[in-house]
């Protein structure tokens, strides 16, 4: 739970807003379901709801939501792209005369993109919650 979330035990408030829409948008963080009601993001767990307010509704402005509410996703994608591209390029330069140079560089680039993307995402996520 982050500092900007409110925990509502189900036994105290066992309801869901009538107009809230179930949505796949957002990080579930182990929730059973998640809902959106305007900028309100509601995660439902077995025993509680965790509720927080986003700056931007991702259904109306996905890019604005990523920039203001989920910069870790953008940073992770950028890190993955740049890290994977750099590693693939360097591996290809070193092995371009070998028979499987393209395949090896693509595989290395893919693996590097997974690692750098995860590291970039994790770093910004931790910095954001600091």
Question: Alpha-carbon distance 106 to 84, whole Å?
Answer: 9
pLDDT at 2 over 60: no
Phi–psi pair at 104, nearest 5 degrees: -65, -40
Distance CA 61, CA 42 (A): 18
Whether the Cβ atoms of residue 101 and residue 90 lie closer than 8 Å to each other: no
Q: Please name every residue paired with 33 in a beta bridge, in sequence order, or none if there are none.
A: 44
The upper half-sphere exposure of residue 49, i.e. CA atoms within 13 Å in the direction of its Cβ, equals: 17
Q: What predicted TM-score, i.e. pTM, was given to this entire model?
A: 0.76
pLDDT per position as a tens digit, 48-104: 999 999 999 999 999 999 999 999 999 999 999 999 999 999 999 999 999 999 999
Predicted pLDDT of residue 1: 47
Decide if 43 contacts 49 (C-beta within 8 A).
yes
For residues 82 and 88, give the distance between their C-alpha atoms in angstroms, rounded to a whole number. 10
């Amino acid at each position: 739970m982050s500092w900007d979330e409110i925990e509502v035990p189900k036994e105290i408030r066992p309801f869901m807003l009538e107009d809230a829409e179930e949505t796949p948008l957002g990080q579930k963080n182990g929730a059973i379901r998640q809902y959106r009601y305007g900028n309100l993001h509601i995660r439902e767990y077995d025993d509680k709801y965790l509720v927080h307010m986003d700056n931007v509704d991702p259904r109306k402005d996905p890019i604005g939501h990523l920039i203001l509410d989920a910069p870790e996703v953008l940073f992770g994608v950028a890190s993955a792209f740049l890290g994977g591209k750099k590693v693939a390029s360097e591996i290809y330069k070193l092995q371009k005369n070998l028979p499987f140079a393209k395949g090896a560089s693509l595989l290395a680039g893919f693996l590097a993109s997974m690692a750098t993307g995860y590291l970039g995402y994790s770093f910004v996520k931790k910095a954001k919650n600091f």
